[in-house]
Structure formats: structure tokens, C-alpha cells
Structure 1
Amino acid sequence: MAHSHSHSSEKIGWAFFLNFGFTIIEFIGGWLTNSTAIMADAVHDLGDTLSIGSAWLLNKLGTKSATKEFTYGYRRLSLLGALINGIVLIVGSAWILYEAVPRLSNPEMPETEGMIVLAILGVLVNGFAAYKLHGGKSLNEKVLNWHLLEDVFGWVAVLIVAIVMQFKDWPVLDPVLSIGFTLFILFNVIRNLVSTVKLFFQASPDNSLLQNVTDKLLELDAVIDLHHLHIWSLDGEHHVATVHVVSQFESKVEYLELKESVSNALQKFELSHTTIEIELTSEECRDVC
């Protein structure tokens, strides 16, 4: 298990340094070629670099045990990383739109030869990074692999547009492509940012999860009622649940059977942490809210 975790961390580290190095090249290349499309893809790759860096850090911290201060461990750092990533991408995307929109009415011809070279390099670098993460078992590796494959397709689009402009005097294609990239980035960033903020405020990670848990527990014959059911997520993947279960039992055996049946009912939801308080019908709940 330790070897598998170390191998996963090594592969994510490879992808991070490849993406980080190439993002710097993209910004320089976008400036030299006067291409807003390459600049837009550079912003996209910057977001992926931040995502990969956050995943790499989390992957390393995931080996650390919980402490007296951080009793749930360090998983919520991924939410902080997602929030920072979202803010950076929104600022970067706003800058790209500010540069690209005016070019629709007054397009400038970019340096197409440089665009072609960068596009080929982009396909190779992102393709190699995706190859390094291919076949990964962890959720981090799988998600990041899709991000990198998405980058490969983006660079293929830049390559096609650059080749077209090499033979046709259609400079408007460059800002059109950059605006398309940027709107695609913004759509996904805003959607993910909304989900991240909700998790920060301890919203239920899935609208149906709370109701499904409620229904499953109330199906148990020994459960008369339940209240104070709270479900939240540490990082969008590992969920926590607490609930007060009202029952009536006459012996220790019935009490143990109740605990086992509740445990079995919750097992299908794959919750990382659960806290179950069992109350008798004659008891008054000590929690008032």
C-alpha cells in the first residue's frame, strides 16, 4: 500500500513539473506570437498546474495521521486548493476576454509558424503527462488524466487553426478560438467554485444522499424515529455523518443488534466517518438545535 501511494505521488509530481514548465513556455510563446488563443490555453494550463499541485500536496499529506489539532486530518486542504484555483482562473479568464474581445473588430495576424511549433509541443508535453498518469488507481490520477487529455485536444484545435491561418488570411480565428477556450474554462470553473463554496459551508455533498440515508434507517424495524441527521464532506469525496436514532430495547442483546443493523444500513453509502447516538423513546434529546 505504501509503495502504491509513493508511486502515485511520483506520477502526479511528474505531471506537475511538466505542466508548470510548459505553462511558462506558453505565456512567453503567446506573447512572442501575439496569439490570444495560446494565451487562453496558457491560462487553462495554469489552472491545471494549480490543480495538479494541490493534488500532489494532498497526496503527500494524505499519509499523515490526524492530530489533536486537525482531528479529521488534512483532506480539507483540497477545498482550499480548489478555491484558490478557481479565483486565479477567473482573474486570468477575465484578462483574456479583455484582450481578445476588441480583436474581433480589429484582428491582428499572429505569428502562425510559432503557433504551430507551440501547438505540436503542447500536444507532446500534455500527451506525455497524460501517459504518465494513465492507468492510475487513485481518484486524483484519474481526474488529472482527463484534464490533461482535454489539454491535448485543446492544442490540437490550436494546431488546426494555426495551419489554416498559415494559408488563409483569417486572423479573426485567433480571438474567436481564445474566447471559445475562455468561456469553456469559465463555465467549468464557476460550476466547480459553487460546489466548493457549498462544501465550505458544510452543505450536503449530494442532494439525494440525506434523503436516502433517512429512508434506509427508517426501514429498520428497531428504529422508531431519527433526528439531527447531518451529512457534510471533508473534500467532496470523503463524507461525514452524524445522527440521533430513537429506539426502544429491553436488553443488551437487542441494543447490540440495533447497532449492527444501523451499521449495515449505512455501509452502502461508503461514509468515511459516522457518529450514531442511540436514544430511548423515554429520553429527552439533549441537543436543542
Structure 2
Amino acid sequence: MSHSHSHGHSHNDLKGRNLLISIFLNITITVAQVIGGLISGSLSLLSDALHNFSDVISLVVSYIADLYSKKEASLTKTFGYKRAEIIAAFVNALSLILVAIYLIYEAVERFLDPQTIESTIVIWLALLGIVANGFSVLLLKKDSKENMNMRSAYLHLLTDMSASVAVLIGGLLMKYYGWFWVDSVLTVLIAIYLIVMGWDLFKQSFKVLMLYTPDHLNIEEISAKICNISEIKNVHHVHVWQLNEKEIHLEAHIVIEQDVTISQFDDISETVEALLFHDYKINHVTLQPEWNKDDVKDIIVQD
């Protein structure tokens, strides 16, 4: 059986620091908006505070996941905690969607029974949310491009900043035009935005946790390319999955044309590994050689 993996480890210590800064900023925003929302009577401000509170939870989860993901593998945890960040992304995406549904419910009730709102408080606290969340977004932007966990935290903060912009606009409309119904409308719009942003991340993280084949890979095409190698007759029992965002695994049974030695099979397996890494960025390959073995030769077999 051949087994190889070629992947690097690069951890940016600034990532954890940036998450901590964002956590403290969001705690500050949440406390200020809850107090301001209760005093002003603004549901959109309270909904933004609730969203900020969900951000605090999601950022704490992301921070813990980031710490755990750096822990070494052991005899009882052979993959280490590499999936911690995927679980964090899944939890954060789900929380976004659930918070959004609750906000829509509250907004509909408030729309049916509109109330006078102290708009000046809303305006100033919305500005606070824009500045603080904008700073947090800048801190996490770079890491969000390479890491699903950081992307989930980044999306929480980006949607929160967008929500604060909407609340600010609503506050100005309420202050100068007396349109208090805008508060409920903005809350619904913020919630819809949360659902849209959260759903895509939810699907991505769910697929990784369920060991789905990555969307950009076609198992039939991969198997055909492996079979083009002259020494290989058949490829079956193929599994392709992601351990995390940086590691794609493939395991398969391969039927060899002739009864080869172990050293000859090593040469064959190295050819397969080079092909998979070069063409598909699959960096962790496990191959089981077969010759004249009587088993099912379908590409996909339920083990």
C-alpha cells in the first residue's frame, strides 16, 4: 500500500491576535447597542446588537478553533484538530441563518405595531458600529481569502458593518422624515442579507464535514487519467475528500497489469501521486495495489 502527502504548514500568529481585537471591539459594540436600543426603542439597533452578540460568539469559536488547529497530532488524534476550523465555520454559518430568521419575526411584529424611536442615539451608535466593524474587517480580510474559519468570522463582521450602515441610513430617515416604519424594513433587509451570506458558507462547510467530493473534482475524469498510466489496468473503490481547506485526500484500489515487486509498485505510485498533485492539487494519496484479486471493480463502492 502506498501512502504519501505533501503539504506545508504555515501559521500566522497575527491571525489569533486580530481575532482577539475583533472580539473585544464587538463586545463593546454589543453592550453600547443594547443600551442604546433599549433607550431609543429601535428594533433595528437591537437587531444589530443581537447580530453583534452572535459575532462575539462566532469570533470566540473561531479563535478557539484557530488555537486547536495548531495542535499536533497524537496516537488518539491522528489528524490532530485540523477539522476544528471547519466545524467553527459550520456553527458560525448556522448561527447567522438562525439569527436572521429571528430578526424577520421581530421585524414583522414591529411593522404591525410601529413605535416612536429616538433616532439620534441610533445614528451615533450606528456610526460606532461602522467604525469598529470596519476596522475588524480590515484586520481579517487577508486571512479570509485562505481559511474557511477566518472567512466565516470575516463574513460575520462584514455583514455587521453593512447592517450598521443600513441602521445609520434608517436613523437619518427617522430623524429628518419621521419614517419609523423604516426600522422594521431595514431589519428584514439585514436579515435577508445574513441568510444569503450564511447559506453559501453553510453549504461549503457541510460538504467538507460530510466528506463530499470537492466540487471542482470529477472522480470519473481522475480515474480515467490514472488508468492511462501503462502499468495500471483499473481503478476502483475511489474516495476523494477534504480534511480541511488545504488538504485533499484520495484513496483507491488500483489493479496492476502484471505481478510487480514492491519497488516497482513504488515507482507506479509515485507516478500516480505526481499526476494527482500536478493536475488536481490532491496532496494526500493512499493506494492499495491489486493483481488478479476477485472484488468489485466499480469506481465507487459503499464500504
* TM-score relative to the length of structure 2: 0.81
- 1:191: how far off? 4.2
Gap runs ≥5 in structure 1: none
From 40, 44, 49, give the equivalent of 1:33.
Answer: 40
- 1:161: how far off? 1.8
- Distance (Å, rounded) in 2 between the aligned partners of 1:116 and 1:96: 20
Counterpart residue type for residue 287 of structure 2: I
- 1:180: how far off? 0.8
From 210, 215, 229, give the equivalent of 1:220.
Answer: 229
- Distance (Å, rounded) in 1 between the aligned partners of 2:9 and 2:255: 42
| Contact 1:13/1:56 (<8 A) preserved | yes
Counterpart residue type for residue 240 of structure 1: H
Q: Secondary structure, in 3 states, of the residue corresponding to 1:225?
A: strand
Counterparts in 2 of 1:103 and 1:231: CA distance versus 1, 3 Å: same
From 85, 96, 100, give the equivalent of 1:93.
Answer: 100
2:123 equivalent to 1:116:
yes
Counterpart residue type for residue 276 of structure 1: L
- 1:50: how far off? 3.3
From 53, 64, 77, give the equivalent of 1:70.
Answer: 77
Counterparts in 2 of 1:228 and 1:24: CA distance versus 1, 3 Å: farther
| Contact 1:228/1:244 (<8 A) preserved | yes
Partner of 1:258: 268
Q: Secondary structure, in 3 states, of the residue corresponding to 1:96?
A: helix
- 1:74: how far off? 0.8
Gap runs ≥5 in structure 2: 1-7
Q: Secondary structure, in 3 states, of the residue corresponding to 1:271?
A: coil
Counterparts in 2 of 1:232 and 1:288: CA distance versus 1, 3 Å: closer
267-276 or 115-124, which deviates more: 267-276
- 1:177: how far off? 0.4
- Distance (Å, rounded) in 2 between the aligned partners of 1:54 and 1:270: 29
29-38 or 190-199, which deviates more: 190-199
- Distance (Å, rounded) in 2 between the aligned partners of 1:75 and 1:221: 36
From 51, 54, 78, give the equivalent of 1:44.
Answer: 51
- Cα displacement string for residues 17-60 of structure 1 (whole angstroms, at most 9, x for unaligned residues): 22233233333333332222223323333343333323322221
* TM-score relative to the length of structure 1: 0.84
Aligned residues: 288
Partner of 1:275: 286
Partner of 2:215: 206
From 176, 182, 185, give the equivalent of 1:173.
Answer: 182
- State, as a whole percentage, how many aligned pairs show the same letter: 25
Counterparts in 2 of 1:34 and 1:218: CA distance versus 1, 3 Å: farther
| Contact 1:109/1:171 (<8 A) preserved | yes
- 1:276: how far off? 1.3
40-49 or 258-267, which deviates more: 40-49
- Distance (Å, rounded) in 1 between the aligned partners of 2:195 and 2:239: 32
- Distance (Å, rounded) in 2 between the aligned partners of 1:153 and 1:177: 11
| Structure 1 outlier segments of 4+, above 6 Å | none
- Cα displacement string for residues 146-182 of structure 1 (whole angstroms, at most 9, x for unaligned residues): 5534433332222122112111011111100001111
Counterpart residue type for residue 81 of structure 1: A
